[in-house]
Structure 1
Amino acid sequence: MFEVSLDVAAMLVAAAFAAGFVDSIAGGGGLITLPVLLLAGASPLEALSTNKVQGAFGAATAAVSYAARGHVDLRRQIRAAGLAFVAGLCGALLVARIPTEGLRLALPVILIAIAGFFAFKKGLDDTDRAERIRPASFTAFVVPLIGFYDGLVGPGAGAFYMIGFVSLAGYGVLKATAHTKLLNFASNMGGLVAFAAVGAPWWITGLAMGLAQMAGARLGARLAMRVGAKVIKPLLVVTSTALAVRLIWQMI
């Protein structure tokens, strides 16, 4: 039934649950699932494809959970989500045509900078601040840029959406987290469409992981809404730093 043995499938499902929990709060769930998929014997293309399958479940669950509690109006994000989807699709289609080595080298530095921003920036809490960019401009320029990156490379996209909402849109930490999830889902789905067309996702394993992602995401979103910035900030610092360390380790 599964594309892997039952014990390996159980490991992947457990990893997906943990990833859903972490990703619903601070992003970075791919830090957990991608290495485990590769460890399970998936090729890089299969791992990326399957990761998109299971990741979509977690992002969608988190988005709905935050919306149900009134932290985000999903209908007002439809246009931005549409742009994120198209950008993610384009990024994934151009994976083989655009050199990404320079971006991969810069990514650890960017992620460490994000971790430092949330670790040392004073006054970051759940209170909204003055916006530095108009909502229309944010949707037109920032969202497609991050969505394209999500399809092209992937790791850290949730953190990039998050810091964009905090530093440019002026959102509080919890509100930024809530608004990140639908966009993350949309660009993830765009990438999935492209990878499904040219790759070979492990559909059964991916769907099983997706169910575990849903459970983890629901639990993580509940915790984030209960505690807010007190849990989101430190977890974001940890996941961004861990992802940077993993990328540096791969380069050595």
Structure 2
Amino acid sequence: MEFEIYAYFVFFFAAFFGGFIDAIVGGGGLITLPALMAMGVPPHVALATNKLQGSFGTLTATINFAKKGMINFNEILIGIVFTFIGTCIGTYLILLLNADFLRLIIPFLLIFIFIYTLFLPKVGESDRHSRLKPKIFYSLFGLILGFYDGFFGPGAGSFWTFSMVALIGLNMKKAVAHTKALNLTSNAVSLAVFVLGGEILWFVGFLMAFGQILGAFAGSNLVVKKEVKFIRTMFLCVVFATIVKLIWDFF
């Protein structure tokens, strides 16, 4: 596909801001995917190209968080394994099944997360007692959320962050960092499927990947420096925006 010159600026800056937001609380796809489709990219090609550029942003944020000592890979290794398995299953099934029923259910789950986080202002400010053993949590939710991200996707990062805060007692900073590593796993699997399908705009994808890298680096550094209250506010904004978009798309 060929585009006007201004479209390439739109792609780059959308990727930068998408990577910035995604590194902080997830949901960068709410910026990048509409930008691709607004420039006339067909939906299936937009999804594939979005996964390519988004993978670079997730990788950048993961590396930066790891360098800052915010990711315990020994703790989440089992989660990475089960996320990989879940994403493989979900990505395969999306080729066979219709995801419309998820479009109906997911907004209600996100509304619950939004209300829970909004009315419990202390949630995620510090580490708390774990309600599940980490190995059980990462095994179970790796399968569930890996499957979800491969099958449908929107809000997967929000689900990961919320689940870690609510069920294994992580503070929101650490939960966001761990979420990036797990998202990277599901992104890599989905990207591999799209590459095999040959539906990617490579030049646009790599241009946006450069914007993603810059945005993700800036966003992940902000997570390290800012207080949890700021991250929590951003989290609520992204969850709310995801709810609105999913309901809009459904109707």
TM-score grouping bracket, smaller chain normalisation: over 0.9
* Range that drifts further, 2-11 or 91-100: 2-11
Query: CA contact under 8 A between 1:86 and 1:187: conserved in structure 2?
Result: no
TM-score by length of 2: 0.94
d(CA) in 1 for partners of 2:74 and 2:19?
Answer: 23
Query: CA contact under 8 A between 2:103 and 2:250: conserved in structure 1?
Result: no
Deviations 1:121-155 (A, max 9, x none): 13224311111111111121111210111111111
Percent of aligned pairs with the same amino acid: 36
Query: CA contact under 8 A between 1:58 and 1:216: conserved in structure 2?
Result: yes
Residues 1:89 and 2:88 aligned together: yes
d(CA) in 1 for partners of 2:116 and 2:21?
Answer: 19
Structure 2 counterpart of 1:205 = 204
Deviations 1:25-65 (A, max 9, x none): 11111111111111122222111111110111111111111
Residues 1:80 and 2:68 aligned together: no
Amino acid paired to 1:86: I
d(CA) in 2 for partners of 1:10 and 1:141?
Answer: 41
Structure 1 counterpart of 2:222 = 223
Aligned length: 251
Structure 1 counterpart of 2:187 = 188
Q: Where does 1:1-252 land on structure 2 (aligned, <5 Å)? A: 3-74=2-73, 76-252=75-251
Query: CA contact under 8 A between 1:12 and 1:37: conserved in structure 2?
Result: yes
Query: CA contact under 8 A between 2:124 and 2:165: conserved in structure 1?
Result: no
d(CA) in 2 for partners of 1:84 and 1:168?
Answer: 17
Q: CA deviation at 1:98?
A: 2.0
C-alpha change, 1:38 and 1:166, in structure 2 (3 Å) is: same
Deviations 1:177-235 (A, max 9, x none): 11110001110111111122225011121111111111111111111111131221111
d(CA) in 2 for partners of 1:241 and 1:62?
Answer: 23
d(CA) in 2 for partners of 1:109 and 1:170?
Answer: 23
d(CA) in 1 for partners of 2:136 and 2:185?
Answer: 19
**Which 4+ residue blocks in structure 1 deviate beyond 6 angstroms?**
none
d(CA) in 1 for partners of 2:126 and 2:12?
Answer: 36
Query: CA contact under 8 A between 2:81 and 2:142: conserved in structure 1?
Result: no
Amino acid paired to 1:145: I
* Range that drifts further, 111-120 or 179-188: 111-120
| Consecutive unaligned residues in structure 2, runs of 5 or more | none
* Range that drifts further, 49-58 or 193-202: 193-202
| Consecutive unaligned residues in structure 1, runs of 5 or more | none
Q: CA deviation at 1:3?
A: 4.9
Query: CA contact under 8 A between 2:83 and 2:182: conserved in structure 1?
Result: yes
Query: CA contact under 8 A between 1:92 and 1:195: conserved in structure 2?
Result: no
Amino acid paired to 1:43: P
TM-score by length of 1: 0.94
Amino acid paired to 1:204: F
